[in-house]
Structure 1
Amino acid sequence: MKAAATWLRKLIYTWDWRQASLVALSGVLMAIALPPLSLWPLAWVGLVPLWWVVVATPSIALAAAYGLLWGLVYYGISLAWITHLHPLMWMGVPWLSSVAIALSAWIFIVIWGSVCIAAWGGAIAWLTHRWPGRRVWTVLAGTALWCTLETLRNYSPLDWSPLSLSQSPNNLWILHLTRLSGPQIISAILVATNGLLAVVLTPHSLIPSSFPSSHLLIPASRRRSLALTACALVFASHLLGARLYAQAAPAAAGQSLTLGLVQGNVPTREKLTPQGVRQALEGYTEGYRSLVEQGVAAVVTPEGALPQLWNPNSPQLAAMLQTVGQAGVPLWLGTFAPVPGEGRTQYTQSILELRTDGQYHGRYNKVQLVPLGEYIPFEALLGRLISRLSPLDSYLVPGQPMQQFETSVGKVTVGICYESAYSRLFRRQTRAGGEFVVTASNNDPYPVWMMQQHHGFDVLRAVESDRWALRVTNTGLSGLVDNHGRTLWLGEPQTYLVHRAELERRQTLTPYVRWGDWLTPLLLGLTVAWGWWGVSR
């Protein structure tokens, strides 16, 4: 305990507010590059101050602290929408507890992302001190480590705001690079470009007196060559992206498809009441009938469209099944479906395809559940401390990662809400035959700018898989994106609407869909090989 206190005092004593300000500025620049502001050019220079500081910091622990600060600023801003969980008084939660729940959820996920950046900052400082004269190799190592940390975080229950989101939905040329190796290729190019610029532009004033200038400053001729390398990387990546944009193969003849969507706009605080259930039933039934008259092949509803446990004998579901039987057009219904098995009945967050026989045929179960909202991690520890936000009497269970949504119009790649941030889930389904993407979300009670971030993820999923994507939500933003990432239609948020969407079914397999993220292990391999070669010399 005494040693920890001594370490903390030393850390505070060596803290440099000028460097901390640069790190905070870097976090702000990267955060506003994300939707909704989408100032994506800032991402190509926004990491430079962070690189400066962690490389020039003599203490590894202090560099990690600066990395933590960057994460707190970046994730704190980009994830501030989580605080809109408050108010929860409609659930019977006291006002103070409602504020505590919203703030706790926000702080927890912000710290989770920030710890990864702290590890990155400490590692870069260690590499710089261990091999101080190898700046370009450090940039390569930093790029590989950043991509590795983002990849590992994407296998965890919590992930959002990767660097690749800063280029979506506007920088379509760069987005097309994801067809080669997924979203990590964008993160790699951004981190590497910023790292090279940081080497070229390192100011003398940032170098501490205890650090030899020769370790961080390089000759003018080398600076020019590295500056040209950074510019060439930016230019070449955009040029390659433009070529991929232009080379997309056209869809085969007869692959057009017309789907309908209903944006119910029933807020969560209302749809969990008997009156809200009636409103949802009326709204989705009316929208379904309207779209059937327009000649759609199927009608899609959002996540939890009818917030009830699946029971075909219940009056509400029986009425909807009767409507589908009379109209003869499949309905993709968002609901809670039971999991067959013995013991206590468990449920999944599901999309079911209802057909005219009154049964569901296709079924997709949500894989990536929302912590605290759909289940409680470490339930024995946290169960008594956190109020659950699910309308169910039992916790949800996740679906199987390798499942496929088989429908009357073919195989579909599906994501439910939060899953839009998990590219690997979409890749598996597309590789197994998914011909287009459908994402079903609730998005209430979050603000419009969160919906814009969510839309940015769906644009990424459409481009990397070379698939059209239909986005249907409860409160917005519903939309249609083509396989180039162009948003063809975007509905008004917080409005009831129905929409008839025409899209294409595609069977192409991009390199990313075929082989996954091969770039991250390649970068790690190059880092180790180059490092070993340098040490052996």
Structure 2
Amino acid sequence: MGLAAEPTGFWLLAWVALVPLWLVVLQSKTHKISTLPFAIAWGIGYHGTVLFWITGVHPMTWLGVPWLASLAIALFCWIFITFWGVGLVIVWAKILSIVSRQIPSQNLNHLLTRVLVGTALWCSLEWFWSQGSLWWSSLSLTQSFGNLVILHLGQISGPNTVTAALVAVNGLITEAWLINRLKNKIEIRTKIIIYLLPILCFSLAHLIGFYLYSQPLKSNPETALKIGIIQGNIPNKIKLYSEGWRQALQGYTTGYITLADQGVDAVLTPETALPFLWKTPARDQSSFYQAILEKKVVAWVGSYGQEGNRISNSLFTVDSEGNIISQYNKVNLVPLGEYIPFESILGRFINRLSPLDSHLVKGDPNQQFNTPFGQAIVGICYDSTFTRHFRRQAKTGGEFILTASNDSHYSAGMLAQHHAQDVMRAIETDRWAIRATNTGYSGVVDPHGKTLWKSQMDTYELHIGIIQPQQTQTLYVRWGDWFTLVLLILSIIAIAVNLVFQTIFRVSD
């Protein structure tokens, strides 16, 4: 399952990779084995592989962290977050094992009930896990951005619709595998139906996705926007120091002027492209701000804001007169890197262990980002993984997506997965997306998830993307993750019906 996600992108593996664990769960009673070690192994295999890019934060010697301490921090973060995902797998395996023991028969109704329960349970757990601060590796991520057709199921009920299809097909393959081992205990016709079910489920999911994928994109040249993207390529190890400041001001000022001269409507810069407080004299004296006053082209500036006595990671809309007309503060901050969980309790302890600045203020989840071209949907870096964040902004009138990120301290695997996250958000909301990152991958993505342009890694680049603001609302934007709730309700009903019939048959016997 880990190999199905980017950067390897063998997405087809995801449709069978859960089968071994599901087999263990269903056979745990008859074979008298514990599901725990198998769930842990599977969880480490998936989440550990997908999240291995976290170790790319090492070495942090440029922050003053000793080499060994840096390695320890990187390994701790990777192991902790991996096991946070492993917890989901353990809970799923344990509950499904209990349910399977109550419905052990191999007839078609019991088979479908187990698959329904397993699917509903996994989707419910992913929903629950995604409500916290540590979330990245949904099973749906394995399909982005190689399988754009199936990703369109996200327009129906978000990424959990894709996850549901994956888990259901894996479950049906498992049941077909088990049925095949029961010789002369089930009718041939029923066996054939069971063998066909995973193929039918896989095909139906892709047919629905293809229908949504084949819908023509709306195009109106009069409302199209030419957006300039600057990938500054300022290494983190110098970014916060005088050398980095000089490179940033020079690179972004030159890039802004070049793009403005080419007739763009606006210019987007990456997360904290200009690493100083934007509302201070440092802004007014900067060459970038003077370029805005001269060229009079709207700029979306990644910089720092101030809320009271605390700092925010922000994106500003600066109009042609140099005025700030909107400010977005990053909502989903990185734990320990940008804020301290339970700061009143852990703050002093963590400050002693780590020199990292972990005191940014969270943005209001309900903020809106108005621009001269209409309301935009904004995500800064880690925001990209939280689909509800983009849905909320699309529902309140966001017409296009702007994401600004700085992934320079991670490996190429993270950059690919981050791009994959934004591809899913574009499809789910039916919006054009513009991505500006510090060192890659910047890009332009259409509402069908097609990447029209993607930058190289660790290069300074300028690009002009043409996007189409739109106000359509997908079923997911309107209703949210309703499909998971439906699956949960149907599972409860199916379990109850099966238990009632089993009780009736026992009494009659």
Counterpart check, 1:70 vs 2:49 = no
The residue that corresponds to 1:135 in the other structure is: 111
What are the superposed Cα offsets for residues 404-459 of structure 1, whole Å, 9 maximum, x if unpaired?
11011211111111111111100111111111111110011112221111111111
1:330 equivalent among 275, 295, 298: 298
Instruction: For 2:121 and 2:253, locate their aligned partners in 1 and report how far apart those are by CA, in whole Å.
Output: 50
Code of the aligned partner of 2:135:
D
Moved more, 403-412 or 306-315: 306-315
Residue 316 and residue 358 in structure 1: after superposition, are their counterparts in 2 closer, same or farther (change >3 A)?
Answer: closer
The alpha carbon displacement at 1:61 in A equals 8.8
The residue that corresponds to 1:295 in the other structure is: 263
Q: Which runs of 5+ in 1 are unaligned?
A: 1-29, 206-212
Contact 1:311–1:317 (CA<8 Å) still a contact in 2? Answer: no
Moved more, 46-55 or 219-228: 219-228
The residue that corresponds to 1:31 in the other structure is: 2
The residue that corresponds to 1:177 in the other structure is: 153
The alpha carbon displacement at 1:292 in A equals 0.3
The alpha carbon displacement at 1:151 in A equals 0.7
The residue that corresponds to 1:10 in the other structure is: none
Instruction: For 1:420 and 1:202, locate their aligned partners in 2 and report how far apart those are by CA, in whole Å.
Output: 39
1:226 equivalent among 168, 184, 194: 194
The residue that corresponds to 2:453 in the other structure is: 489
The alpha carbon displacement at 1:376 in A equals 1.6
Counterpart check, 1:357 vs 2:321 = yes
Residue 218 and residue 84 in structure 1: after superposition, are their counterparts in 2 closer, same or farther (change >3 A)?
Answer: farther
2:274 match: secondary structure: coil
Code of the aligned partner of 1:325:
L
What are the superposed Cα offsets for residues 228-277 of structure 1, whole Å, 9 maximum, x if unpaired?
12111111111111111122452445221101010000011111111111
Instruction: For 2:280 and 2:267, locate their aligned partners in 1 and report how far apart those are by CA, in whole Å.
Output: 19
Contact 1:60–1:125 (CA<8 Å) still a contact in 2? Answer: no
Instruction: For 1:515 and 1:84, locate their aligned partners in 2 and report how far apart those are by CA, in whole Å.
Output: 38
Instruction: For 1:518 and 1:65, locate their aligned partners in 2 and report how far apart those are by CA, in whole Å.
Output: 33
Aligned residues: 492
1:351 match: secondary structure: strand
Residue 146 and residue 313 in structure 1: after superposition, are their counterparts in 2 closer, same or farther (change >3 A)?
Answer: same
The alpha carbon displacement at 1:222 in A equals 2.6
Contact 2:283–2:289 (CA<8 Å) still a contact in 1? Answer: no
> RMSD of aligned C-alpha atoms?
1.9
Q: Percent identity?
A: 44
The residue that corresponds to 1:4 in the other structure is: none
2:350 equivalent among 383, 389, 413: 383
Residue 61 and residue 313 in structure 1: after superposition, are their counterparts in 2 closer, same or farther (change >3 A)?
Answer: farther
Code of the aligned partner of 1:51:
W
Instruction: For 2:209 and 2:66, locate their aligned partners in 1 and report how far apart those are by CA, in whole Å.
Output: 52
Instruction: For 2:32 and 2:228, locate their aligned partners in 1 and report how far apart those are by CA, in whole Å.
Output: 55
The residue that corresponds to 1:144 in the other structure is: 120
2:422 equivalent among 458, 466, 469: 458
Moved more, 323-332 or 221-230: 221-230
1:446 match: secondary structure: coil
The residue that corresponds to 1:259 in the other structure is: 227
Instruction: For 2:478 and 2:332, locate their aligned partners in 1 and report how far apart those are by CA, in whole Å.
Output: 22
Contact 1:468–1:481 (CA<8 Å) still a contact in 2? Answer: yes
Counterpart check, 1:120 vs 2:92 = yes
Code of the aligned partner of 1:332:
W
Residue correspondence of structure 1 range 492-531 to structure 2 within 5 A: 492-531=456-495
1:402 match: secondary structure: coil
Instruction: For 2:154 and 2:253, locate their aligned partners in 1 and report how far apart those are by CA, in whole Å.
Output: 39
The residue that corresponds to 1:23 in the other structure is: none
Contact 1:469–1:482 (CA<8 Å) still a contact in 2? Answer: yes
Instruction: For 1:60 and 1:522, locate their aligned partners in 2 and report how far apart those are by CA, in whole Å.
Output: 33
Give me the TM-score of the superposition, normalised by structure 2: 0.93
The alpha carbon displacement at 1:202 in A equals 2.4
The alpha carbon displacement at 1:475 in A equals 0.3
Counterpart check, 1:54 vs 2:25 = yes
Instruction: For 1:486 and 1:530, locate their aligned partners in 2 and report how far apart those are by CA, in whole Å.
Output: 39
Q: Which runs of 5+ in 2 are unaligned?
A: 502-509
Instruction: For 1:122 and 1:61, locate their aligned partners in 2 and report how far apart those are by CA, in whole Å.
Output: 12
The alpha carbon displacement at 1:218 in A equals 5.4
The residue that corresponds to 1:15 in the other structure is: none
